[in-house]
Chain A
């Protein structure tokens, strides 16, 4: 009998392990009570910071590179020195760890006061669940004094249905970062400007015994840049807008063609050995150590390359930038940009001091400091004064030519769909899904999730 009981007990314990991960916190159902269906703050402006009272502001960021982390720390220290009653608790998290940890605290209904956000679909989910603070009134206070410092396009990424839930501190684009020396060794004199030219460059590099492209497809999102850019070039702005708003479809031939182009590229075996299991960190390490000729990555690439390289210097002057090439016959304008930026969202329980600190973080002076160490393309007027790196200036100028800005697919779409995009593109790279099957999978998820 006692044996039976202990058997049952051990079974239930096993069940506990199996289920604990999905057991939902009891706090969740209480969340909607605090849902800001209407702006609570008066239209004249946000709540003002209370003087003297001890306040703790929690801040999660993902800027793990040494110099970048130091700037954030310095800004927090300065603010705390000027406001002795405010304590700012900083948590520095690695990108993937951050996403995991944030999801967990979000499901328990306790977001940090200020945290890294990319805007778009994921932020919208949080906002709809009432987990974010509506800071529209704070932006509009004093005749929009704070709002008007931002470039409107970048600020809009952190808004849903006309309400703002966060602010940007960086807006950039994805493009090719290449090793000039390795290109020269392969006899490539000018960076490719069309897709066929890019394929030729890959062949030339291959012939010279150089790994043409570094790709960390184990993380999936780096590969989705390739697909997203190709689709932006081939389908144009209208193609994505229609598919995402459900007046069109992801099974449209233009999306299938974009995925087919990936196969065209893959047939040349341009990536390093084991790229399907590699991480973005591996990708940056290859680039930083000069072991691969190019990568398709966002504006943060040079900083991460430096940080991941053996000598901590990266490629220095040998690094060059060129925009994603035009695809002949595509509907998209060759100047259109694909990418996104970084920002900070505000948690629902954030005290007024958190918003005041956020204003401090996004002053032009703070933006200049970030620009000076090349970790951000400023989004606040006056911030561009800090840009000195010719690559960053090139990137900013390329970005300013864009007629249409396409936010990353995995951010612009709801998380479930974005995740299916990433999974399906990896499957196309691995050859376990045909382009048609991949697009059908994305379409099925979009049909279910976007209503």
Chain B
């Protein structure tokens, strides 16, 4: 904020114009924020309020909403077995992300962040899936997981090793695991990048000091690197959880939430009602639930993770 008076001089807003300086500063802040606030209100807040409004109606999405049903949509959603499946799948994807995807990303970040031969090459390769559009990634996985061993890579490998080919996306018991594999493949590069940035911010002197004091590589990692990386990990977990709760594109293309709702997520559930069944009021209510869930998670998460940041203390 120190730079503001300089800008106001540039704009020839003289401090001597008769208004208190503090007011002028605030006006300046307001004017700079105005375009963003207008866009934000128009494209974020307004649609949210509209969704809240429509969620109280039995509305098909065409014409005005007239059939007011109060909170019936919200009650019916909680009674729907499929919504509970979607909720469970969301939590399952979160759990798997935190237990598999993030540790994997961290491991790779540590590996390619060090002086290993060919690390630039591997860094690029690992990051490549994240660059791909989600639609293309999902279509690729459709080919890879094709149940016919003549066409699907995974089944070809299984058959070559003497196993039975599996209908990855056609089997209600396997579909979520198959989709999770694709999701991990798609997003681990992103988290790896976050971790690598975090690792670069750790001064090498600290780890060196640890080594001099006789800490082995594992001790160094768990007692020095990991704690210093905690703020990056917090961000990564946050992004991962919210992303899992809202997962849609890859799931919709790979399985449409099926077979028989086995891979339904809240987003595919919302889409099904809003756009396939023409029950937009009900779909809006699902969106509100998703919103509340994300909001509550965020508030709790931020409250409990507001720990001291070791690194900023170091640098400050």
Write the residues of chain A forming the contact surface with B, with a CB cutoff of 8 angstroms: 7, 9-24, 28-29, 31-32, 35, 99-100, 103-104, 106-107, 109, 125-126, 128-131, 217-218, 220, 272-278, 415-416, 419-420, 423, 426-427, 430, 432-433
- Asked if A218 and B278 make an inter-chain contact with CB atoms under 8 angstroms apart, the answer reads no
Is B61 among interface residues, defined by CB-CB distance under 8 A? yes
- Asked if B47 and A19 make an inter-chain contact with CB atoms under 8 angstroms apart, the answer reads yes
Is B198 among interface residues, defined by CB-CB distance under 8 A? no
- Complex formed: what's the CA distance from A16 to B246 in Å? 12
B-side interface mostly: helix
The A-contacting residues of B in range 24-70, CB under 8 angstroms, are 40, 43-45, 47-48, 50-51, 54, 60-64
- Asked if B278 and A103 make an inter-chain contact with CB atoms under 8 angstroms apart, the answer reads yes
- Complex formed: what's the CA distance from A103 to B291 in Å? 24
Q: Which residue of B lies closest to A433 (CB)?
A: B260
Given A29-B63, A103-B276, A106-B61, 17 other A-B contacts at CB below 8 A?
A19-B284, A19-B291, A21-B274, A22-B51, A22-B283, A22-B287, A24-B61, A32-B64, A99-B276, A100-B275, A103-B61, A130-B63, A218-B258, A276-B170, A277-B147, A277-B255, A426-B259
- Asked if A22 and B54 make an inter-chain contact with CB atoms under 8 angstroms apart, the answer reads yes
- Asked if A28 and B259 make an inter-chain contact with CB atoms under 8 angstroms apart, the answer reads no
- Asked if B278 and A432 make an inter-chain contact with CB atoms under 8 angstroms apart, the answer reads no
Least distance between B65 CB and chain A CB atoms (Å)? 8
Q: Which residue of A lies closest to B58 (CB)?
A: A448
- Asked if B278 and A16 make an inter-chain contact with CB atoms under 8 angstroms apart, the answer reads no
- Asked if A125 and B172 make an inter-chain contact with CB atoms under 8 angstroms apart, the answer reads no
Stretch at the interface among B94-102, B207-215, B294-302: B294-302
- Asked if A11 and B295 make an inter-chain contact with CB atoms under 8 angstroms apart, the answer reads yes
A-B CB contact pairs (8 Å), 12 listed: A15-B44, A15-B48, A18-B290, A21-B267, A22-B283, A29-B63, A31-B63, A126-B62, A276-B172, A276-B259, A415-B278, A423-B261
Partner of B62, one of A125, A218, A273, A278: A125
The A-contacting residues of B in range 218-265, CB under 8 angstroms, are 242, 246, 255-256, 258-261
The residues of B that contact A104 with a CB separation of less than 8 Å are 275
Task: Using A16-B43, A276-B258 as known contacts, say yes or no to A125 and B295 having CB atoms under 8 A apart.
Answer: no
Least distance between B20 CB and chain A CB atoms (Å)? 22
The residues of B that contact A18 with a CB separation of less than 8 Å are 246, 267, 287, 290-291, 294
Least distance between B99 CB and chain A CB atoms (Å)? 23
- Complex formed: what's the CA distance from A24 to B64 in Å? 11
How many residues on the B side are at the interface (Cβ–Cβ under 8 A)?
55
Q: Which residue of A lies closest to B46 (CB)?
A: A23
Is B106 among interface residues, defined by CB-CB distance under 8 A? no
- Asked if A28 and B64 make an inter-chain contact with CB atoms under 8 angstroms apart, the answer reads yes
- Asked if B45 and A12 make an inter-chain contact with CB atoms under 8 angstroms apart, the answer reads yes
- Complex formed: what's the CA distance from A18 to B40 in Å? 15
The residues of B that contact A420 with a CB separation of less than 8 Å are 277
- Asked if B287 and A432 make an inter-chain contact with CB atoms under 8 angstroms apart, the answer reads no
Is B167 among interface residues, defined by CB-CB distance under 8 A? yes
- Asked if B284 and A274 make an inter-chain contact with CB atoms under 8 angstroms apart, the answer reads no
The residues of B that contact A17 with a CB separation of less than 8 Å are 246
The residues of B that contact A274 with a CB separation of less than 8 Å are 147, 166-171
- Asked if B279 and A23 make an inter-chain contact with CB atoms under 8 angstroms apart, the answer reads no
Least distance between A17 CB and chain B CB atoms (Å)? 6
- Complex formed: what's the CA distance from A273 to B174 in Å? 14
- Asked if A427 and B170 make an inter-chain contact with CB atoms under 8 angstroms apart, the answer reads no
Partner of B274, one of A22, A35, A220, A430: A22
- Asked if A278 and B47 make an inter-chain contact with CB atoms under 8 angstroms apart, the answer reads no
Q: Which residue of B lies closest to A107 (CB)?
A: B61
Is B192 among interface residues, defined by CB-CB distance under 8 A? no
The residues of A that contact B270 with a CB separation of less than 8 Å are 21-22
- Asked if B61 and A28 make an inter-chain contact with CB atoms under 8 angstroms apart, the answer reads yes
Least distance between A49 CB and chain B CB atoms (Å)? 29
Is B196 among interface residues, defined by CB-CB distance under 8 A? no
Partner of B259, one of A7, A129, A430: A430
- Asked if A21 and B62 make an inter-chain contact with CB atoms under 8 angstroms apart, the answer reads no
Interface centre among B54, B171, B175, B258 (most CB of A within 10 A): B258
The residues of A that contact B44 with a CB separation of less than 8 Å are 12-13, 15-16
Task: Using A15-B291, A24-B61, A100-B275 as known contacts, say yes or no to A7 and B298 having CB atoms under 8 A apart.
Answer: yes
The residues of B that contact A433 with a CB separation of less than 8 Å are 260
The residues of A that contact B40 with a CB separation of less than 8 Å are 9, 12
The residues of B that contact A275 with a CB separation of less than 8 Å are 167, 170
Least distance between A261 CB and chain B CB atoms (Å)? 19
- Asked if B172 and A23 make an inter-chain contact with CB atoms under 8 angstroms apart, the answer reads no
- Asked if B148 and A273 make an inter-chain contact with CB atoms under 8 angstroms apart, the answer reads yes
- Complex formed: what's the CA distance from A100 to B147 in Å? 26
The residues of B that contact A426 with a CB separation of less than 8 Å are 258-260
The residues of A that contact B291 with a CB separation of less than 8 Å are 14-15, 18-19
- Asked if B62 and A11 make an inter-chain contact with CB atoms under 8 angstroms apart, the answer reads no
- Complex formed: what's the CA distance from A385 to B192 in Å? 65
Least distance between A86 CB and chain B CB atoms (Å)? 29
Is B280 among interface residues, defined by CB-CB distance under 8 A? yes
- Complex formed: what's the CA distance from A275 to B302 in Å? 45
- Asked if B171 and A14 make an inter-chain contact with CB atoms under 8 angstroms apart, the answer reads no
- Asked if A15 and B171 make an inter-chain contact with CB atoms under 8 angstroms apart, the answer reads no
Least distance between A400 CB and chain B CB atoms (Å)? 34
- Asked if B260 and A276 make an inter-chain contact with CB atoms under 8 angstroms apart, the answer reads yes
Q: Which residue of B lies closest to A109 (CB)?
A: B62
